Structures are given as structure tokens and as C-alpha cells.
Amino acid sequence: MMKTLQLRAFGKPATALDLIEAAPPAPAVGQVRVAVKAAPINPSDLLLIAGRYGVRPTLPAALGAEGVGRIVAVGPSVDPVRIGERVLIVPTLEHGAWQNQTVIDEGHAVPVDAKADALQLAMLGINPLTADLLLRRFADLAPGAWVGQTGANSAVGRYVIALAQQAGLRTLNVVRRPEVVADLVALGADAVVVSGPDLAAQITAALGHDQISLVLDAVGGDAVTGLAHSLVFGGTIVSYGGMSSGSPAVISPADLIFRDVRLRGFWLKHWLDATPRAQLAEHYGRLAALVADGALRVPIEATYPLDQYREALDRAARAGRAGKVLFTW
């Protein structure tokens, strides 16, 4: 028997979930069964539980979008040589990773380094790929260009800093807590400013005579306003999160009208649904190599067994965490 965490009703994690026991699932044609080693708790998981995410699955539903594990069984048409492979579970939202074992399509089990840090690999599916695509898809960024971002101390924000540094880009990072500034500078951030009444002045001082080529917004609210003021003519702001309780990004009419600032949205699921599996494997393979050599990593605050899911979800939801929270087996 195996344990699996299920959503039975949208609401608060303390009352909306059930931990049940079930027989290990059998893989069908073209599928593999993965014994999960580690799976993170992401803000998107908490939004899904609350019923405020971009999808509302039929209930009861398995939970956990991403993780890492090993293939322990294969269905018909899948080469048995894959048994034993360590694989990334691609976050399709069609299966759950918060369980001992999960069945997924073979193409959604991407091989990764068997010796690399399992906890860091477990977080590869969503945040590193989001950061990579944000930097690549919305602007033609030359070395030395400035990328401005809100929510810079988030996991995606930290991956943006690391990937931008590798590409020769500079980052101007907006955070809400002054105590994280030194940590981001040590990570490679070129400038870090703290939200407040003088945010626009801080941004201007950090940039000097330069302008921002791309703005990445994970927060919404008025944190993006100052960055928009310093964006190049015709520049793009990409909204990919709403950490300020879903408040809309505040952009002045003057920036929208007179400076032709554009606002775009990005949700990784749309990209995953439209991208061929071979291309998925290429993208993930490149990022997995950076995780394996330590170039991409984020702090981990705590790990929990699945039995302690209430404590784990409560800790993941706390403001001011020092890192990610994961389930481990």
C-alpha cells in the first residue's frame, strides 16, 4: 500500500485534505510508475488548494505538481531499460507528486543526474524553467542589459538572478524586507532596493543614466510602478505572479500611453502544453546540468514526511520563510 495526499474540497489546507492509503497505481500503455523521492510545496499548490488557481481539478484530486524520483515500473510499449532511472516529474497538473508513487506519461519523466542533489532537482520543474523562459521569450536582451524584477527573494527571483548573471545581464531587484538584501547581493544581484515611499528614487539612483530593458513582476500592486517608470520606450512588463494577494500591477497611464509600455502575462502551463516533449527534455536537461554543478540552487528551510502534511503546509504558507519546504521519502 502507498500513501497519497488528496484534495477533497477547496479551502484551507488544514481541513481540505485527506491522507489516504491505496494500492500502487499500475502504468498503462506509454506510462511509467515513479517512486517519489522529494516534492516541493509551491505557492501555486496553496492557491490550487484554496480554489484560486488557474485550474480547478475534479475532486477528489491528487496534489503536488513537481518532484523527482526513480522509475520502478513501466507500462506496455515503454523500454524496461528505463527502470531505475532518476527522473524529473514534469508539472503537467495531470498527476500528483505528493504520494509515494505516481504514474505519468513516459515523455513527462525526464532523466536527470543520478548523483545530483535530489532536493534541488525536485524543484527543477517549475521555478527554474519559469525564470529561464521569462528571460528568453519577451525581449532580445544584449549583454549588459538591465532586468528589473519584483519578488526578487522568491525562488523564481533567485533563479532569475543566477541565470541573468550567466548570460551577462544585470538585475535590479525589488524586495520587501531589508534583511534579505545582503543575501541577494552575495548571490549575484547587481542592485537591490527595498519597497517603500522612496522606491522610484532608489531605482533611479541604482540605474544612474541607464534604463531597464525588461521587467518581471511576481508581486502586483504598486511595486512595479517605479520599475515601469525606468523601462525603455516600448519595453515589456511580464506579470507571472500575484504575491500581493492578487492585486493588479499598477502602471501609470503616462507610461502606457506616452512611453508605449506593454504588459504581458505568463503561465508556465500554457508553454508546457504547447511544447513538444523533445523540446521539454532539452530545456530541462540544460537546467538540470546547472543544478547538478551547483550554479542553480535555492535555500531549503525544511523537509517533512507526508504524514506531517499539516505542519509542512503551514510552514510553507508562512511569510518571511528562509527557503523552500519539501516533502521527502
Instruction: Please report, for the domain that includes residue 153, its CATH number.
Output: 3.40.50.720
Q: Say what the pLDDT of residue 36 is.
A: 98
Q: Is residue 229 part of a domain?
A: yes
Burial of residue 310 (number of CB atoms within 10 Å: 0-12, 13-18, 19+): middle
What is the arithmetic mean of pLDDT over 200-212? 94
116 is a domain residue: yes
Distance CA 132, CA 240 (A): 13
Q: What is the pLDDT of residue 98?
A: 98
The answer to whether the peptide bond before residue 60 is cis (omega within 30 degrees of 0) is yes
Question: Which pTM value belongs to this model?
Answer: 0.94
Q: Look up cell 517519489; give the residue.
A: 36
- Provide the angle, in degrees to the nearest 10, between the axes of the packed helices 155-166 and 127-137: 50
CA-closest candidate to residue 312, choices 93, 17, 10: 17
Looking at the fold, whether 257 and 288 belong to one and the same domain comes out as no
Does some domain include residue 227? yes
Measure the CA angle with vertex 136, ends 128 and 94; round to 5°. 45
- The residue among 219, 245, 265 that closes a domain is 265
Compute, in degrees rounded to 10, the torsion defined by CA atoms 235, 47, 99, 32: -40
pLDDT digits (tens, 9 = 90+) for 57-67: 999 999 999 99
Q: Which residue has the cell 506496455?
A: 76
> Are residues 61 and 114 both part of a single domain?
yes
**Does one domain contain both 186 and 275?**
no
The per-residue pLDDT for range 247-275, each reduced to its tens digit, is: 788 888 998 899 999 999 999 999 999 99
Nearest to 238 by CA among 154, 313, 130: 130
Residue 134 in any domain: the answer is no
Residue 53 is a catalytic residue: yes
Quote the DSSP letter at residue 99: B
Task: Give the residue, 145 or 219, on which the prediction is more confident.
Answer: 145
All cell numbers assigned to 264: 504581458
According to the model, what pLDDT value does residue 248 have?
Answer: 80
Helices 277-292, 127-137: crossing angle, 10 deg rounding? 110
Using CA atoms, how far apart are residues 89 and 105, in angstroms rounded to an integer?
Answer: 10
Boundaries of domain holding 293: 2-126+269-328
Mean pLDDT calculated for residue range 272-289: 94
Residues 23, 85 within the same domain = yes
Structurally, the chain folds into a number of domains equal to 2
Instruction: Tell me, yes or no, whether 196 and 230 share the same domain.
Output: yes
- Calpha distance 56→40 (Å, rounded): 20
Average pLDDT, the chain: 94
| Final residue belonging to a domain, choices 265, 285, 302 | 265
pLDDT score at 177: 93
The CATH number covering residue 122 comes to: 3.90.180.10
- Interatomic CA distance for residues 237 and 55, integer angstroms: 24
